[in-house]
């Protein structure tokens, strides 16, 4: 499986937004600079998060982004689905059928295994939330580093 970097970037954008004071907005430009991400690409990611109801976008000079959903309610799976979209990680290409000259209705031997793996993967992603990652960030980063981030946020808030 090759997950696009957009999922990672979206998760970290949400972690930054989690640190915002209530009702504060953060511009896409400031967020892209902090994450070292192309502003155009970040806008595309944020648009998808807005469409999924995860982030609120307010246009204009005083506008920007903030969380719409509670961090406790945003799973990593929700972020994955917003960025990557609904699709199965595995799709049989019919190699077995062609190799053994089976009919089209034959079952791919890998389908059940891959379905089970995908279910397990989804279960783990659904168990982790932006709030749980935020708690890990607070527990594993130095106070100085978190203070730098919060100080940057204070200057970037709209």
Q: What is the pLDDT of residues 116-127, one digit of tens each?
A: 888 898 999 999
pLDDT band at 97 (very low <50, low <70, confident <90, very high): low
CA 65/CA 67 separation, integer angstroms: 7
Q: From CA 20, how far away is CA 51, in angstroms rounded?
A: 21
* Residue-level pLDDT at 112: 78
What span, in angstroms and rounded, lies between the C-alpha atoms of 6 and 109?
Answer: 32
Dihedral through CA 97, CA 101, CA 105, CA 111, nearest 10? -20
- What pLDDT is recorded for position 142? 96
Structure confidence at residue 98 (pLDDT):
57
Complete domains list, the chain, with CATH: 5-85+130-156 (1.10.10.10)
- Per-residue pLDDT for 92 more than 90? no
What pLDDT sits at residue 57? Answer: 96
What are the phi and psi torsion angles at 16 (to 5°)? Answer: -65, -45
Closest CA to 49 of 60, 38, 57, 39: 57
The reported pLDDT for the residue numbered 10 is 97
- Residue 1: closest CA among 121, 152, 146: 121
**What is the pLDDT at residue 104?**
61
How many angstroms separate the CA atoms of 6 and 32, rounded? 12
For residue range 45-85, list pLDDT tens digits in order. 999 999 999 999 999 888 899 999 999 999 999 999 999 88
Token pair, residue 1, equals: 């499986």
């Amino acid at each position: 499986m090759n997950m696009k970097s957009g999922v990672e970037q979206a998760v970290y954008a949400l972690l930054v937004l989690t640190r915002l004071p209530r009702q504060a907005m953060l511009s896409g430009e400031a967020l892209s600079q902090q994450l070292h991400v192309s502003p155009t690409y970040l806008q595309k990611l944020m648009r998808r998060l807005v469409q999924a109801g995860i982030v609120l976008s307010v246009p204009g000079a005083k506008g920007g982004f903030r969380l719409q959903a509670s961090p406790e309610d945003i799973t990593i799976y929700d972020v994955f689905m917003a960025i990557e979209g609904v699709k199965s990680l595995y799709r049989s290409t019919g190699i077995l059928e062609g190799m053994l000259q089976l009919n089209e209705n034959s079952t791919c031997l890998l389908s059940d295994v891959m379905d089970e793996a995908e279910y397990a993967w989804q279960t783990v992603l659904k168990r982790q939330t932006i709030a749980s990652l935020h708690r890990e960030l607070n527990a594993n980063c130095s106070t100085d580093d978190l203070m730098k981030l919060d100080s940057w946020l204070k200057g970037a808030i709209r």
